[in-house]
Each structure stands twice: as C-alpha cells, then as structure tokens.
Structure 1
Amino acid sequence: MQQEYTIRAERIMRRIQQLAAISEDADGVTRTFGTPAFLQGRALVQSWLEAAGLPIRVDGIGNLRACLLSKNPEAKTFVLASHIDTVVNAGKFDGPLGVLMGLDLLEHLLAQQAELPFHIELIAFSDEEGVRFHTTYLGSEVVAGSFNPSVLARTDAGGITLARALEIMEADATQIAADAIPAADWLGYFEMHIEQGPVLWERQIPVALVTAIAGQMRAELTFRGMAGHAGTVPMDMRQDALCAAAEFVLIAEQFALQHDQGLVATVGKLSLSHAASNVIPGEVRCSLDLRSPDAIQLTDAYQALKTYTEALAIQRNVALSWNLIQETAPVACAAELNELLAQAIADAGHEVLALVSGAGHDAVPVSAVAPATMLFIRCFKGISHNPLEDVELADLAAALEVADRFLMELKIKNEELKMPA
C-alpha cells in the first residue's frame, strides 16, 4: 500500500515540475493571473484533466473546473480545490500542489470505479494571490457567489481593467453570477496546501489539521511631503515622505512584536515617486498587511496603527492618505469535517496536530456558504513564496493516504445518512 502512495506521489511531483517550468521569468516561478504563462499553465493542467476522462469547463473568471458525478442526480457537491496562480518569484508548490493532489484523488476513484453518494468537483482557482489586481480570492468568490462586479473596473499596473483582462483570456464575465454553486448544493470543501510555516518541519510531522484561518486587513498608504534639493533644504525644514514611511514601517513591526498572540504586520511594498539620489522624497506609497486569528484583536490593531500613523504624519508635517483595500474575517474550519479529517490522520498513523493558518486561502470565501476543512502538508523549513519552496516525497505520500481515508470516511458517512432507519 505504501509503495502505491509513493508511486502516486512521484507522478504528482513530475507534474509539479512540468507546471513549474512555465513561468513569466527565468527566476523562480511566476504565473500571475491572466498572463500568457498563466494561460499556458492552465492549459497544461486542463490536458491532464482531459486525459483522465473528466468533463471540464472554464468559467467566467477563468477557473478550471472538472467534475466526477454521482449516479444520484440530486446529490450534493463536495469540492476539492486550490489555486494555480502564483506570486512573483514564487515556489512550485503553493496552490498547484492541492490541485494536482485533487486530480490524483479523482484518478484513483475512477480507477476504483467507485460509486459516490455525492458529486466531486475539482477546481483550479484562477486568482487567489491577488497580485495583478490587488484583490485576493477572485476565483473562489465567484464559486461561493460573493464576487463583487465592481471589481471588474479595477486596473492592473498597465491600466488594463479586470473586465478587459477576462476578454483577453476569452472568459465570459457575463456568466460569473451563474458560475456560483448554490449554497443548498454544497456538501463541503476540502483544500490541501503546504503549511507555509515551520511547525511541521521542526516537529517532523507530515500533515496537520487546520482549525482556523487568520483574518486579514490590507491597507494602501500614501505619504505626501515636499520634494526638494538634497543639498539646500535644511534638515529641520524638510517634509520628507520617505522618513515618515520608514518610521511607519518600524511602528508596524514594533506594534506586532509587542502585542503578539498571533498578530503579524507586514509592509511588503514601498514605492517612491520620481526617485533620485539628490532629491528629498516628496511622495511615498506603501502597503500594510495585518493578520490575526482573533477578530477583535485584528480590528483593534488596525485602528491603533491608523491612529499612530495619523499622529506621525502631523508630527512630520506630511499628508497621509490611508485606504482599506481588503478585509476578511477570521474563519473557523467546520467541526464535523475536521472530525473526519482528524480520524483519517490518526488512522494513517500520524499525530493529529491542529494548526491555525496565518496565510489566507480560498477556503475563506467558501466557508461563508459551505463547511470547509484544510489539510496542511510539511514543507522545507516552512519556506513559501520563495523559489526554495519544497516538499519531500514521503510527506506527499503520507498526505495522499490521509486524503484517501478522509474521502472514504466522508463517503461512508453520507451513505449511512441515506440508509433507511
């Protein structure tokens, strides 16, 4: 049995390598939403789905969707999913691993000619990372029925709107509303993902049960001072926007360090307008990414940092523009599905380790309409969003066994529910 899982894991690894070879650049892996590299990568995944004999379609936001149908036309739908877009200079496993594991699970069920009491839909979400249009979960929000049509007017760095990008991708945005799975039709949602943290690596455990996903608040800040000559404006008369931004970066770091308990704050983007070595920076834009598994802590921290920064701007005599661009509440995974997944982990012979995810996942919007659960898989030193991202074959094989057992537990439970009293 273990040899079978190793063989299946090796096939997934080969596919991971093939997909990773498709990139916008030569360093790492970059396949941002809607780019030629993204479309080429999606086409490769589609070819594997077609080879498996699964009916497929591409929906209005560019999600790739395949379905293994139950013989019961009134059956509910259980979704296996993750994303195939990446951040810039990414690793190979964040997102695609979950999609390709899902494909392997369906191939295994097809080979077993298993009869299912529910439909299984495998979805390769088109945009979870939000790199291009600065809004995450585009793909999963469509499936969950929470997509905001106003987002279609958003532009990328080149001025292309999301609506236009979908046209270029030959995706039909007029069908987006119809692409949602109605809440009444959901049985549940299962996402398999690398941990993106060091706990499993340090404890030498291949998998973990995800109990919750941290909430996020993202803001875009602009500091506006006065550009001036670097050699002629006295230090005590300057309105240096970069100095204000630099102080904000350190304030955010110190605030998160002092409050801890799962709170993290990151300034990941910083840009200077008309930058030159001999010019005092007059305008600086930066980001703030704030996360916590505690909803109250998250909102309190956000407001506190905003208040501190407003006071900083007054002190430094610069203008501040602060815009909230994304907010997602913390999400608890479904207890009933987690119980089945925990049992599958234990039955496979592993310690049942429960973790909270600090990273966001497509399970967040889906959880508003369906029970959701997640399985974390150990990754090299917890590294993610980095070309060093890696997963060991033995851990992938262990995760496949757990996923197989979980689907079997789910199948048995739903068959029992339909049995006469």
Structure 2
Amino acid sequence: MQDYISRAEKVMQRIEQLAAISEDAEGVTRTFGTDAFLRGRDLVQSWMEAAGLSTRTDSIGNLCARLSSRNPAAKTFVIASHIDTVVNAGKFDGPLGVLMGLDLLEQLAQQTTDLPFHLELIAFSDEEGVRFHSTYLGSKVVAGSFDPSLLDRADAQGITLAQALAKMGADARRLAQDAIPAEQWLGYFEAHIEQGPVLWERHIPVAVVTAIAGQQRVELQWRGMAGHAGTVPMDMRQDALCAAAEFVLAAEQFGQANKEKIVATVGKLQVSHAASNVIPGEVICSLDLRSADAARLASAYEELRQLAQSIASRRRVQLGWNAVQQTAPVACAPALSQQLSQAIAGAGHEVVELVSGAGHDAVPISAVAPVTMLFIRCYKGISHNPLENVELADLAAAIEVSERFLMELKINN
C-alpha cells in the first residue's frame, strides 16, 4: 500500500502545481484557450514527455500521450478527463483523472512486456464549456461528433471559436481528422471525483459508475408589464418576477416529489431593468433537468413546461420556453464495469454502484466506444468550488483499483 501512497503523493504534488496556474490570483480558473489554459497544458505535456511518452496536441487543443503496442493493427484504449475548469473552481474536477492516468502510463512505460492494445491518455481541452457555452468540445472531436457550426460561436468578447483556435495555433480544417474511428476503439476509462456526498458519508474510497444522467436545459422568459411599485394595485399587476418565483418553487417541489428518478434545478435568475420601486416586467430563468431514465426525463420536461404555462396564464404574463441543451442518458458498458467492480473488490473495498448526475466526456465517447468510469470520494461531495478536496488514502485506493483494472484489461485482450 505504501507504494500507492507514494504515487498518490506525486499526483497530489502535480495537482497543486497545475492549480497554481490560473486566470486570477484568488482561485483556480483555466477556461478553454486562455493563456492560463495553455500554460497548464504545457506543464502537463512536460510531465508526459518526462515519462518518456510521445505527445501531440490536436486541432481542438486536446493533449494526447500514447503508449503504442508493437502490433500496429491493435485497437486503442483511452484513459481521459479534462484540464479546463469552471470559474473559481476546485483543483480536482478533471485534472485528477488526467494526472492519475499519467501515473498509470508512467508505470506501464517502465515495463518491458508489450501491450496488446495502444494506450492513449487524453487531457481534453474543453469539457466545462464555460467560454463558448458549449459542452464536450474536446471529446466530441475525438468521437467524431463535433458540429462545425460551433466554429462561429462567439465568447463574451466577441471572439469566435475559430478565431480562438487560430490564436492557439490549431487548424480547424483538420478537426474531422482528429477523430478515432469507431472500429479502432477498444474502450474508454475515466476517473473523476464523485461530485456528490454518497462516498463521503459512507467512508468508501471509490465507486463504479453505471450510468450518466441525461440532461434537459431550458431558458424561460417571463414577460409581464413593468409598472410603478406605488401606484399599480396588487390585483392588477402582471409581475414577471412573481411568476418566475412561483415556478422556481414549483420546480423544487416537482423534484422533491420525483426524487428517486429526477432532479430539477433553477440556477439562474435575471431581472431586466431591476429597481426597488419598479414591478418587474421581464425575468429570465433557467431550468436544468437530469435523469438516468430517458422516458422519465422526457415526461418531466413536458410536465414542467405545462406547469410553467399554467402559471403564466393565471398570472397574465407571457412565457417563452426555449430548449438550449439536450443530452440522452448514457449507460456504461457492462463488461468494462464488471471488470472495474472486480478490481475494486480485489483491492479490498466494498463495491458501490452510482449514477452520475453530472455530465462527463464519457458521454460523447459512448457513441463510438464502450465506456466505464470510476468515482473517487471527495470532501462532502463538494465540486466546482475551491473547497473541493480528495484525501490521500482515497487517491491511493483509486490508483490501485485503476491499475488492477488495466492489468486485467491486458490479460483479457
């Protein structure tokens, strides 16, 4: 176990070094294509090359390291996560999976036995989608599902994705060539902090992910009539904020009533021309629905749409309901997940199965390859927050489990 502790300490040191590279001095912020992102990627690439791995960056900015089999016709097994962050992020969401993967490849690179498959470690460039309000830019390119229309999408400064890629030295014309064809995939493995409290509360270091919840995201626009706060009678108002507020609470109640199957969140509320003495005339809010059950996700979407319309009609305000994102639930590959469960049991841990409510790069990859994921216990389940943390013993356990999983993969292939 001491060997795994030592390896975990090295991974932790690298996590700290990478976290020190940020767009701001107060937290960890490395959004796609920024100078901080590029400096962070360069640092990870230097570690990969120091381990003797061949590296390259592709046309979307993904950083790839490869251990090749002597058999040129062998399939490719990918270990991956992302190195971009949300604004004011924690240190572990994404980079932990990349740097754990680097540890695994470092160990394998020292062995003389040949791999029966090509092993590729990918640090995806943009999973969080903060800068261009996108999702999975890096992994969609590798999966061959990148939408070229995204190249015209602009960030808050008016810089398009195509322009950002050009500034990074990437060639957008080669994006389609950076996909790994479906017939060349052996599988995909991603290690990630749980981003939930189950493992923390149960004092269990790791879990196997059985599925990734699908998502429906909506922007709602409530349009009433702005008016003077002192002169319009209460029963004659068309208050957009009150309508939105009623919907916020209704969405919460809906989620509570269906908590075994779905979660519902309103995370954004914007009052146009807000003033303390003005009845709000326009309010925009978000709705985020997630479920591992595709049918329940679809029905919840329709039920909440009808509920919102009912509130709008009763309160005499107009409702704009605009779908902005939809991803289907993803089931992890049973065979790979079974091997991962065996690795967890072999390391002496209880096998826990969890559904991920958060999205991961495994989602687009699942369209072309079997995927599996390992969750790692994190402090109180906190994520996307500077308080994000992983204990050394849990990281050591995750490294051991992952190595057992890879060794079994070698034997079976």
Structure 1 length as normaliser, TM-score? Answer: 0.95
Q: Structure 2 CA distance, aligned partners of 1:365 and 1:371?
A: 11
Provide the secondary structure at the position in 1 that maps to 2:389.
Answer: coil
Q: Structure 1 CA distance, aligned partners of 2:169 and 2:141?
A: 17
> What is aligned with 2:232?
233
> What is aligned with 2:110?
111
- Compare 19-28 and 145-154 and name the one that shifted more: 19-28
**2:317 alignment partner AA:** V
- 2:322 pairs with 1:323: yes
> What is aligned with 1:127?
126
Q: 1:167-209: per-residue Cα shift (whole Å, max 9, x none)? A: 2222221111111100000000000001111111111111111
Contact (CA 8 Å) 1:28, 1:386: kept in 2 or not?
Answer: no
Q: Structure 1 CA distance, aligned partners of 2:23 and 2:278?
A: 34
> What is aligned with 1:417?
none
Contact (CA 8 Å) 2:82, 2:124: kept in 1 or not?
Answer: yes
Provide the secondary structure at the position in 2 that maps to 1:311.
Answer: helix
Contact (CA 8 Å) 2:18, 2:43: kept in 1 or not?
Answer: yes
* Aligned-residue offset at 1:339: 1.5
Q: 1:208-254: per-residue Cα shift (whole Å, max 9, x none)? A: 11111111111122222233333333333322222222122111111
Q: What percent of counterpart residues are identical?
A: 75
User: What does 1:328-343 align with in structure 2 at a 5 Å threshold?
Assistant: 328-343=327-342
* Aligned-residue offset at 1:162: 2.0
* Aligned-residue offset at 1:393: 0.4
- Compare 188-197 and 257-266 and name the one that shifted more: 257-266
Contact (CA 8 Å) 2:28, 2:87: kept in 1 or not?
Answer: yes
> What is aligned with 1:223?
222
> What is aligned with 2:299?
300
Contact (CA 8 Å) 2:71, 2:116: kept in 1 or not?
Answer: yes
Provide the secondary structure at the position in 2 that maps to 1:253.
Answer: helix
Contact (CA 8 Å) 1:10, 1:393: kept in 2 or not?
Answer: yes
> What is aligned with 2:284?
285
Q: Structure 1 CA distance, aligned partners of 2:173 and 2:238?
A: 48
Contact (CA 8 Å) 2:261, 2:296: kept in 1 or not?
Answer: no
- 2:221 pairs with 1:203: no
* Aligned-residue offset at 1:24: 2.1
> What is aligned with 2:178?
179
> What is aligned with 1:366?
365
* Corresponding pairs, count: 413
Kindly tell me: are residues 267 and 157 of structure 1, through their superposed partners in 2, closer, same or farther at Cα, counting changes over 3 Å?
farther
Structure 2 length as normaliser, TM-score? Answer: 0.97
* Aligned-residue offset at 1:132: 2.1
> What is aligned with 1:253?
252
Kindly tell me: are residues 155 and 239 of structure 1, through their superposed partners in 2, closer, same or farther at Cα, counting changes over 3 Å?
farther
Q: Structure 2 CA distance, aligned partners of 1:317 and 1:157?
A: 34
Contiguous gaps of at least 5 residues in structure 2: none
Provide the secondary structure at the position in 2 that maps to 1:112.
Answer: coil
Contiguous gaps of at least 5 residues in structure 1: 415-421
**2:320 alignment partner AA:** S
* Aligned-residue offset at 1:292: 0.6
Q: 1:115-146: per-residue Cα shift (whole Å, max 9, x none)? A: 10100111111111122222211111111111
- Compare 300-309 and 231-240 and name the one that shifted more: 231-240
Q: Structure 2 CA distance, aligned partners of 1:408 and 1:207?
A: 18
Provide the secondary structure at the position in 1 that maps to 2:110.
Answer: helix
* Aligned-residue offset at 1:267: 1.2
> What is aligned with 1:159?
158
Q: Structure 2 CA distance, aligned partners of 1:411 and 1:194?
A: 25
Kindly tell me: are residues 26 and 250 of structure 1, through their superposed partners in 2, closer, same or farther at Cα, counting changes over 3 Å?
farther
* Aligned-residue offset at 1:349: 1.0
Q: Structure 2 CA distance, aligned partners of 1:159 and 1:272?
A: 24
Contact (CA 8 Å) 1:135, 1:326: kept in 2 or not?
Answer: no
User: What does 1:39-188 align with in structure 2 at a 5 Å threshold?
Assistant: 39-188=38-187
Provide the secondary structure at the position in 2 that maps to 1:7.
Answer: helix
- 2:400 pairs with 1:401: yes
